[in-house]
Structure 1
């Protein structure tokens, strides 16, 4: 499949947007395209298109509980007492690396960018957090993050294993 032009995008549109396919998700659209065509990074192209499909975004049902009233976080009293963490993904991949973990000290706003694999696990996140944050600044009193699956209990269990804790 040639790389230039709009042929690839036209094929993805045909297998995703038409009445006979009905705006199926990323996996089903990829499976349909894969039956008849192949090109390198085809799955990434399908993922990128489906994630930006306006109709899919408007029709997506909200499965999360409604958030309560916003409350401001208390201001930390010392640097690296409280940090915020999040992921940046969707940038150009270099080998296996395709995500960036962003850690911001909430007091000084000093920011650390940690390069990570595109599909990093909670265990991998905890190892990278220890290597690039705890090693230099110590363990923060609190970490503010979204509800990403990499910031669940598995992250904390692995981090405390790295720290040598026996209370797991």
Structure 2
């Protein structure tokens, strides 16, 4: 049903109309039109930016009872098989990060020394992370007295950042956006040793920063 609507509404998007015209003039090679006059990019349906079609496709893929709140990487891979639109990967990452239900399911908290948890095994690199804070270290010349460690749960590779004990959850969120998201992707699961309140505040600040990018 969604594919039918995508095909019917392509001509309502001026960008896709321009692409169709360029296909006829043989000015673009990656796009094509078959006998049904539907615009495709490397065999994938081009989704017009009208009637919130792109958002509805993401909502359907993310929230259906079959997908059970997919992470951004898995969701992107699945949608890439069928659909194309400009900046799709970034849009999916932002959509997943802002999904309230997904946050409630995925934001976890681990207390040191507590009983072992059944932790979901990651499927993609940097989709599930653990974060730790090591304090009480000798102060550096830049006044750093702690180390913030971000561990990729799948490969066990990690990033180490010098921080200050006075840093807030918002400071950590900004640091993660600047130094980790640019290299990897938006995480879908966080386990922290700082407590549920810190984790919730970190995720809230992270969302806000992601929306401003």
Name the TM-score, length of structure 1 as normaliser: 0.53
Does the CA contact (< 8 Å) of 1:121 and 1:150 recur in 2?
A: no
2: CA distance, partners of 1:152 / 1:75: 20
In structure 2, the residue matched to 1:16 is none
What is the rounded CA distance, in whole Å, between the counterparts of 1:126 and 1:70 in structure 2?
Answer: 27
1:88 maps onto 2:134 in alignment: yes
- Are 2:193 and 1:146 equivalent residues in the alignment? yes
Aligned ranges for residues 157-168 of structure 1 at < 5 Å?
A: 157-164=204-211
SS in 2 for 1:126: helix
Distance in 2, Cα, partners of 1:132 & 1:150? 23
Question: Does 1:72 find its partner at 2:118?
Answer: yes
SS at match of 1:137: coil
TM superposition score normalised by structure 2: 0.42
- Report how far residue 162 of structure 1 moved: 0.8
- Which of 159, 163, 169 is equivalent to 1:112? 159
Partner residue of 1:97? 144
Structure 1: tracts of 5 or more residues without a match:
1-66
**Judging changes above 3 Å, is the alpha-carbon distance between structure 1 residues 110 and 85 closer, same or farther for their aligned structure 2 residues?**
same
2:182 to 104, 114, 135: 135
Unaligned stretches of 5+ in structure 2? Answer: 1-112
Root-mean-square deviation over aligned CA pairs = 2.2
- Check the 8 A contact 2:192/2:199 in 1, yes or no: no
Task: Give the number of equivalent residue pairs.
Answer: 99
